[in-house]
Structure 1
Amino acid sequence: GKCRVLDIVHDPLHTAPLARLRLESGGDAWAIANEGLHVGAVIESGVDASIKIGNTLPIGNIPEGTTIFNVEKNPGDGGKFARSGGNNALVVSHGSDKTVIRLPSGNLISLDNKCRATMGVIAGGGRSDKPFVKAGKRWHAQKSRATNYPKVSGVAKNPVDHPHGGGAHQHVGKPATVSRHAPPGKKVGSIAARRTGGK
């Protein structure tokens, strides 16, 4: 069906802006905003949706070479691939019941033709181009995510805290290569490395 864009909003949880949509039935829905979307725009979704940027339709109906985002892994799951700001996937080729998609990572995957995707590129691109400048800014950014930040290196710690810790100056003091069968706690550094050093 068709829906109209009521508003485009920033959500702290997402790297891309979200669009609030008014459905034909009168209800509201949310969608990831694509580049070029504006308030008042009408977008379509469904098998019979037209081939136009911002419309959502089965990948089997989308022409080869088209950029898409919010791609479903299984039909009806709501979208699993290419969902962060500025990202997009690419329709590579069609088969009788499968379509090959190139993901943002460069990997090629084969998906059911009935899996839906939205045409275009997600808004919010270039977010990571601007430097943080201050450690405090990065700290606030990482604080909202389940990451270990700041990450302190092993040689900078005390011997009680890490196998590489301690010493009058920062050095590992022992081979950093460690056996695959080392017990937990000792398994730090280059684990079961076949070789180290030069590329």
Structure 2
Amino acid sequence: NPGTSSPLAVVETSDGSRFTMLAPEGIASGETVRFTERSILKPGNVLPLSSIPEGTPVYNIESNPGDGGKFARSGGNHGSIVGHGKNVIVKLPSGAQKKLHPRCRATIGVAAGGGRNEKPFLKAGKRHHALRSRGGIYPRVRGVAMNPVDHPHGGGAHQHVGKSSTVSRNAPPGRKVGSIAARRTGKK
């Protein structure tokens, strides 16, 4: 799925129409998923937050009722229900706790596609294409490897910064490389 790292599952409804949803970890083709309020707690089932007990892992969590899911959508991600009240408190993958409307829905389980980052790229070209699709810079050349005309850390008979790498907060653009307005440097 472009934009998220999780694979999609094609779901066929009882009337024969098809749509896609973010697949949960451990689902297989031919399994049944339910979208009712009283569905059992099974990976892939979609329930309102008010019907999900505390501690249950959920993903594709809605921010407002009916928006289709905004939080915890990338591969291997999940949030968990922390508490119920007037609003439902959900712990997001970032660790932040968010109060959401009880009618917001979420999918039970963990989004499939986790561990995607553990496999090495193996080829520079694969990394180039992956980063290019996301607007990343590749290859990223170090400043000390450049000439002095190209970077403040460039130049010299051997690769070294040659001056303090700590720069003022008020330094002009172009000089602002290295440790910007660092309170301290070195090992802790």
1:46 CA displacement? 4.1
Gaps of 5+ in 1: 1-10
RMSD: 1.9
Give the TM-score, by structure 2 length: 0.89
1:36-51 correspondence to structure 2 within 5 Å = 36-51=26-41
Pairing partner for 2:175 from 164, 180, 186: 186
Provide, for residues 154-199 of structure 1, a one-character-per-residue CA deviation record: whole Å limited to 9, x for no partner.
Answer: 1111212111111221111221111111111111111111111112
| Higher relative contact order, structure no. (Cα contacts within 8 Å, ≥ 6 residues apart) | 2
For residue 162 of structure 1, what is the aligned residue in structure 2?
151
1:128 aligns with 2:112: no
Residues paired across the two proteins, number: 188
1:48-63 correspondence to structure 2 within 5 Å = 48-63=38-53
Pairing partner for 1:89 from 70, 79, 84: 79
CA distance in 2, matches of 1:151, 1:80: 32
1:89-108 correspondence to structure 2 within 5 Å = 89-95=79-85, 97-108=86-97
1:34 CA displacement? 0.6
CA distance in 2, matches of 1:13, 1:180: 35
CA distance in 2, matches of 1:120, 1:61: 14
**Which structure shows the higher strand fraction?**
1
Provide, for residues 4-61 of structure 1, a one-character-per-residue CA deviation record: whole Å limited to 9, x for no partner.
Answer: xxxxxxx465421101122345432110011222222221224344433211121121
CA distance in 1, matches of 2:45, 2:91: 19
CA distance in 2, matches of 1:136, 1:198: 35
Q: Which amino acid aligns with 2:162?
A: G
CA distance in 1, matches of 2:2, 2:65: 28
CA distance in 1, matches of 2:36, 2:173: 52
For residue 3 of structure 1, what is the aligned residue in structure 2?
none
Secondary structure of the corresponding residue to residue 73 of structure 2 = coil
Give the TM-score, by structure 1 length: 0.85
CA distance in 1, matches of 2:18, 2:32: 14
Gaps of 5+ in 2: none
Secondary structure of the corresponding residue to residue 139 of structure 1 = helix
Cα pair 2:167 2:181 within 8 Å, conserved: yes
Secondary structure of the corresponding residue to residue 89 of structure 2 = strand
Between the aligned residues of both structures, percent identity stands at: 58
For residue 129 of structure 2, what is the aligned residue in structure 1?
140
